[in-house]
């Protein structure tokens, strides 16, 4: 890779054996104009760099134009059409983002050396663009930054191929896309008419880019029709629709609306679902009841990553627009020694519909399908540009902006408050869970709806997508655009714990290879198979069973789901409902404590009898023991963690005294000392089991102790206090001896 990115020059020189991207870059630069005139106007954002990347865009447009010669019969995609204009606009934006850091560095260097003409900063910026966009300037740029040339050319080649592929597939499938099928409002079968009118626009990038620049695209037609193109198999979505139809026929199960799809093997088409408000409060309650039933179904299918962008509120119906992550293998927390972490991972919380926070340094934002979707600033700062369009243009870090999503139902113009519909959500979940439980023999039958998924392609997400998108963006630093080996070293951070450990081992090589192609890495499997492959088509190692040899074979996704369905019972359903209710607390806009109307009625100043107090304490202790998650000598609870005095997050309890597991341990130890009941003492000891390992880890990270602090409730002081008290109350020397290391 390094050698391929170090040509002597892009214009001129040998072309023998050069990769496709280098040949394309050479042709693009050779076609650049000798002189460039930059219009006298303002250039917000990265728009001013358009003339510099224009030769690459035009070369890609020519490649697309040639490919479309035998495409759409009505002229869709021909030279000068809106489709080609969309292609140019979107590709220009993408290339400008890739080149921005290098171009701003060159801009500063040109200003420092006084190479720019013009009286003001805007004029000098335009002069820089004109000098760089002409043939000799562009040649110097790509010769000095060969990795940048590779990234620009690769993006052009991939995007042109993806558009050409779309147009060819649309031409071949027009007769299948009848108004009564994918496009219409009825639920009729796909027909054989000529389909919609001329294609008037294509919006790419509706999802992440995978498999050589391919992404979900939204198509617009002259008759007003809209259609979604998905460049991946839709068999799993088709079978999900059949499963939902079966589910809706069960007694007591709410009827769910699905996204109609046309599965064409390696790709498919889906109807475009527009957001629609509810007509009444009753419809809003129906929406949340259906969402609860949908949550039960997705939980049973091991669905995950179903966040606010994957659901549309269409009147009283929550409509899923993507179900590619069903039958998902366990992620990291599933193998944790913390039983609460394992339980939360295996619960309804994993689906992604329930409130889940994206946490930054100072703020947090709910990204879930139920609680998310509000317009808000991103908690994570990303690269942006200050004083754009001037020679003082520079990179700054600032919070991005999330626009409002279509996942929350509306009554008129007001979006619903999810916390007000917790009962409807739980009622729907209970109905859905019970329906699956009562008819599981039919679901699990050899010819049942579950087995139809066995050969379908489903996606596996080994680590958060933002890890990949951040690496793609940050690895365009100009220092990395000179030498492929330097950039490769940065991408190889995926092999280190700094970027998290992937849920599946052995995927790093493929992750890096796909990032080099400009793609977000994607991995796939089949529910009935243990094989895992990357976006390049190469097979990679699948997950091994916990505690087994590395070469052991893990259960298939289908086997895991079948085992989960067989284990469904009333106790588990109540446990899942409790997690739903706890998670929904975090969506409430109300303060956590509010006095009731009229205040509290005064009571007699008489102390309760000690036996009454002890009975109440035992009731609390029994509940703590029953709610605890226990595994191999560890005990913990799932609770709400307060972040920054503003946000509540559902999470396994940490170690602090106020909100962590040392608090229940202290209570249970006091109760054991008063009652002599051994189960309270046993739970208290098991709750403190991870403390020695925690203290050992903290001793090795002294630079982080300042942030943790020595406070009584949230710091080491509270942990030391709990250890001292529990050790004394239980007469346990081992626990008591831990207080010393905690204090030190």
- Across 14-25, average pLDDT: 81
- pLDDT on residue 528: 95
For the chain, how many helices (H) and strands (E)? Answer: 24, 21
- Does 72 score more than 60 pLDDT? no
Domain ranges in the chain are 20-178, 608-743
- pLDDT on residue 704: 78
- Can you read off the two tokens belonging to residue 74? 């009505």
Contacts for 363 with CB less than 8 Å, ≥ 6 apart: 377, 379, 399, 644
How much of the chain is in helix, strand and coil states, percent to nearest 5? 50, 15, 40
* Chain centre distance of CA 164: 28
What's the mean per-residue pLDDT of the chain? 88
- Does 489 score more than 90 pLDDT? yes
- Does 729 score more than 70 pLDDT? yes
- pLDDT on residue 358: 85
- Does 504 score more than 80 pLDDT? no
- Does 41 score more than 90 pLDDT? yes
The position carrying tokens 């492959």 is: 533
The pLDDT-based confidence of 589 (bands split at 50, 70, 90) is low
- Does 499 score more than 90 pLDDT? no
- pLDDT on residue 505: 72
Backbone φ and ψ of 363, nearest 5°: -135, 170
- Does 419 score more than 60 pLDDT? yes
- pLDDT on residue 725: 96
- Can you read off the two tokens belonging to residue 444? 């699990």
- Can you read off the two tokens belonging to residue 192? 């054989």
The pLDDT-based confidence of 444 (bands split at 50, 70, 90) is very high
Task: Say whether 210 sits in a helix, a strand or coil.
Answer: strand
Closest CA to 349 of 309, 317, 303: 303
- pLDDT on residue 20: 93
Contacts for 406 with CB less than 8 Å, ≥ 6 apart: 275, 312, 313, 373
- pLDDT on residue 591: 60
- pLDDT on residue 10: 37
- pLDDT on residue 596: 63
3-state secondary structure 591-646: CCCCCCCCCCCCCCCCCCCHHHHHHHHHHHHHHHHHHCEEECCEEECEEEEEECCC
- Across 611-628, average pLDDT: 95
- pLDDT on residue 139: 97
Interatomic CA distance for residues 238 and 635, integer angstroms:
42
- Across 99-117, average pLDDT: 96
Please answer whether residues 296 and 564 qualify as being in contact, where contact means their C-beta atoms are separated by less than 8 angstroms. no
Among residues of the chain, what percentage have pLDDT more than 90?
A: 68
- Does 36 score more than 80 pLDDT? yes
Contacts for 659 with CB less than 8 Å, ≥ 6 apart: 639, 640, 641, 642, 653, 714
- pLDDT on residue 625: 96
What element of type H or E holds 366?
strand 364-366
Backbone φ and ψ of 249, nearest 5°: -85, -10
- Across 4-32, average pLDDT: 69
Closest CA to 366 of 331, 329, 404: 404
DSSP code per residue over 53-89: HHHHHHHHHHHHHHHGGGS-TT-TT-TTSHHHHHHHH
Radius of gyration of the chain (CA): 30
Residue 717 DSSP label: H
Interatomic CA distance for residues 631 and 336, integer angstroms:
10
- pLDDT on residue 593: 56
Closest CA to 631 of 388, 429, 425, 336: 336
- pLDDT on residue 652: 95
What are the pLDDT digits (tens) for 454-486? 999 999 998 888 889 999 999 999 999 999 999
The pLDDT-based confidence of 186 (bands split at 50, 70, 90) is very low
- pLDDT on residue 182: 54
What element of type H or E holds 716?
helix 716-730
- Long-range pairs for 672-676: beta carbons < 8 A, 24 or more residues apart: 672/729, 672/730, 673/729, 673/730, 674/614, 674/617, 675/614, 675/618
User: Cβ–Cβ contacts within 10 Å for residue 233, how many?
Assistant: 19
- pLDDT on residue 9: 36
Phi-psi category of residue 731: left, alpha or beta, with phi > 0 → left and psi -120 to 50 → alpha: left
- pLDDT on residue 400: 83
The position carrying tokens 């207080």 is: 739
- Can you read off the two tokens belonging to residue 446? 């050899």
- Does 5 score more than 80 pLDDT? no
Interatomic CA distance for residues 330 and 355, integer angstroms:
20
- Does 4 score more than 80 pLDDT? no
Question: Given CA atoms 325, 326, 329, 335 in this order, what sign does their dihedral have?
Answer: positive
- Does 577 score more than 60 pLDDT? yes
- Across 134-159, average pLDDT: 96
Interatomic CA distance for residues 480 and 472, integer angstroms:
12
What are the pLDDT digits (tens) for 352-383? 999 988 888 778 888 999 988 888 888 888 88
pTM over 0.75: yes
- Does 609 score more than 50 pLDDT? yes
Interatomic CA distance for residues 268 and 97, integer angstroms:
30
The pLDDT-based confidence of 184 (bands split at 50, 70, 90) is very low
Q: What angle do CA 736, 739, 741 make, to 5 degrees?
A: 130
- pLDDT on residue 69: 73
What element of type H or E holds 312?
strand 311-314
- Does 254 score more than 80 pLDDT? yes
- Can you read off the two tokens belonging to residue 528? 């009935």
- pLDDT on residue 503: 64
Interatomic CA distance for residues 109 and 105, integer angstroms:
6
Please answer whether residues 56 and 153 qualify as being in contact, where contact means their C-beta atoms are separated by less than 8 angstroms. yes
- Can you read off the two tokens belonging to residue 683? 């739970």
Please answer whether residues 201 and 238 qualify as being in contact, where contact means their C-beta atoms are separated by less than 8 angstroms. no
From residue 50, how far is each of 95, 145, 209, 589, 715 by CA, in Å?
9, 18, 22, 44, 53
- Does 209 score more than 50 pLDDT? yes
- pLDDT on residue 2: 36
What are the pLDDT digits (tens) for 288-329? 999 999 999 999 999 998 999 999 999 999 999 999 999 999
- pLDDT on residue 552: 54
- Across 545-568, average pLDDT: 78
What element of type H or E holds 525?
strand 523-525
The position carrying tokens 């004109």 is: 130
Interatomic CA distance for residues 677 and 498, integer angstroms:
45
- Does 553 score more than 70 pLDDT? no
- pLDDT on residue 154: 96
What are the pLDDT digits (tens) for 386-397? 999 999 999 999
Interatomic CA distance for residues 423 and 427, integer angstroms:
6
- Does 594 score more than 90 pLDDT? no
- pLDDT on residue 706: 81
Residue 394 DSSP label: E
What element of type H or E holds 359?
strand 357-359
Which of 348 and 184 is assigned the larger pLDDT? 348
Backbone φ and ψ of 523, nearest 5°: -130, 150
Please answer whether residues 671 and 728 qualify as being in contact, where contact means their C-beta atoms are separated by less than 8 angstroms. no
Interatomic CA distance for residues 411 and 413, integer angstroms:
6
Half-sphere exposure of 613 (CA within 13 A, CB side): 6
- Across 650-672, average pLDDT: 95
Interatomic CA distance for residues 310 and 372, integer angstroms:
11
- pLDDT on residue 70: 57
Return the bridge partners of 508, or none.
none
Closest CA to 674 of 666, 624, 656: 666
- Does 77 score more than 70 pLDDT? no
Among residues of the chain, what percentage have pLDDT more than 70?
A: 89
What are the pLDDT digits (tens) for 669-707? 999 999 999 999 999 999 999 999 999 888 888 787 887
- Does 6 score more than 50 pLDDT? no
- Does 156 score more than 80 pLDDT? yes
- Does 206 score more than 80 pLDDT? no
């Amino acid at each position: 890779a390094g050698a391929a990115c170090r040509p002597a020059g892009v214009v001129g020189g040998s072309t023998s054996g050069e990769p496709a991207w280098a040949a394309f870059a050479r042709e693009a630069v050779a076609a650049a104009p000798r002189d460039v005139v930059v219009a006298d106007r303002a250039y917000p954002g990265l728009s001013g760099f358009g003339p510099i990347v224009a030769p690459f865009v035009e070369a890609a447009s020519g490649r697309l134009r040639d490919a479309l010669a035998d495409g759409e019969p009505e002229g869709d995609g021909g030279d000068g059409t809106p489709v080609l204009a969309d292609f140019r606009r979107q590709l220009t934006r993408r290339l400008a983002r890739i080149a921005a850091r290098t171009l701003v560095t060159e801009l500063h260097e040109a200003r420092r050396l006084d190479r720019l003409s013009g009286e003001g900063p805007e004029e000098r910026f335009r002069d820089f663009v004109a000098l760089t966009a002409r043939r000799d300037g562009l040649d110097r740029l790509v010769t000095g930054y060969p990795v940048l040339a590779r990234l620009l050319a690769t993006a052009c080649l991939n995007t042109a191929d993806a558009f050409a592929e779309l147009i060819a597939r649309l031409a071949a499938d027009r007769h299948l896309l009848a108004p009564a099928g994918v496009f219409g409002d009825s639920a009729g079968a796909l027909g054989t008419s000529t389909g919609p009118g001329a294609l008037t626009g294509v919006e790419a990038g509706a999802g992440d880019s995978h498999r050589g620049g391919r992404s979900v695209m939204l198509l617009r037609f002259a008759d007003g029709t809209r259609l979604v193109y998905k460049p991946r198999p839709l068999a799993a979505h088709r079978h999900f629709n059949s499963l939902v139809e079966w589910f809706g026929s069960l007694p007591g199960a709410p009827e769910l609306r699905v996204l109609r799809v046309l599965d064409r093997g390696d790709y498919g088409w889906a109807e475009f679902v527009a957001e629609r408000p509810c007509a009444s409060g009753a419809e809003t309650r129906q929406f949340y009841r259906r969402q609860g039933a949908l949550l039960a179904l997705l939980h049973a299918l091991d669905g995950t990553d179903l966040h606010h962008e994957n659901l549309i509120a269409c009147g009283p119906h929550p409509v899923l627009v993507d179900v590619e992550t069903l039958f998902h293998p366990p992620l990291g927390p599933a193998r944790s020694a913390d039983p609460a972490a394992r339980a939360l991972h295996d619960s309804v919380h994993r689906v992604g519909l329930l409130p889940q926070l994206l946490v930054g340094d100072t703020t947090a934002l709910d990204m879930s399908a139920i609680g998310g979707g509000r317009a808000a600033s991103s908690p994570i700062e990303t690269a942006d540009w200050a004083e754009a369009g001037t020679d003082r243009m520079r990179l700054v870090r600032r919070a991005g902006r999330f626009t409002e999503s279509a996942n929350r139902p509306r009554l008129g113009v007001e979006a619903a408050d999810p916390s007000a519909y917790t009962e409807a959500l739980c009622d729907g979940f209970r109905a859905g869970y019970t329906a699956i439980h009562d008819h599981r023999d039919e679901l699990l039958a050899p010819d049942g709806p579950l087995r139809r998924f066995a050969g379908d392609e489903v996606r596996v997400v080994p680590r958060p997508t933002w890890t990949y998108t951040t690496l793609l963006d940050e690895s365009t630093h100009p220092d990395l655009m000179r030498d492929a080996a330097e950039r490769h070293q940065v991408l190889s951070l995926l092999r280190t714990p700094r970027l998290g450990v992937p849920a599946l081992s052995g995927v790093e090589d493929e992750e890096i290879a796909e990032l080099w192609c400009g793609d977000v890495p994607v991995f796939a499997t089949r529910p009935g198979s243990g094989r895992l492959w990357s976006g390049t088509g190469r097979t990679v190692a699948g997950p091994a069973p916990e505690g087994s040899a590395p070469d052991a074979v893990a259960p298939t996704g289908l086997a895991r789901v079948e085992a989960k369905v067989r284990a469904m019972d009333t106790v588990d359903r109540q446990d899942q409902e409790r997690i739903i209710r706890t998670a929904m607390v975090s969506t409430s806009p109300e303060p956590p404590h509010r006095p009731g109307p009229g205040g509290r009625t005064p009571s007699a100043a008489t102390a309760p009898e000690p036996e009454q107090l002890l009975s109440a304490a035992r009731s609390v202790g029994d509940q703590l023991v029953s709610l605890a998650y226990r595994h191999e000598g560890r005990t913990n609870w799932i609770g709400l963690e307060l972040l920054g005095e503003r946000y509540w997050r559902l999470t396994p309890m940490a170690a602090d005294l106020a909100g962590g597991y040392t608090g229940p341990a202290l209570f249970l130890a006091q109760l054991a000392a008063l009652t002599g009941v051994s189960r309270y003492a046993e739970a208290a000891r098991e709750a403190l089991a991870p403390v020695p390992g925690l203290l050992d880890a903290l001793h090795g990270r002294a630079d982080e102790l300042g942030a943790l602090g020595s406070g009584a409730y949230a710091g080491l002081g509270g942990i030391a206090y709990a250890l001292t008290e529990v050790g004394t109350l239980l007469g346990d020397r081992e626990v008591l001896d831990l207080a010393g290391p905690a204090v030190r």
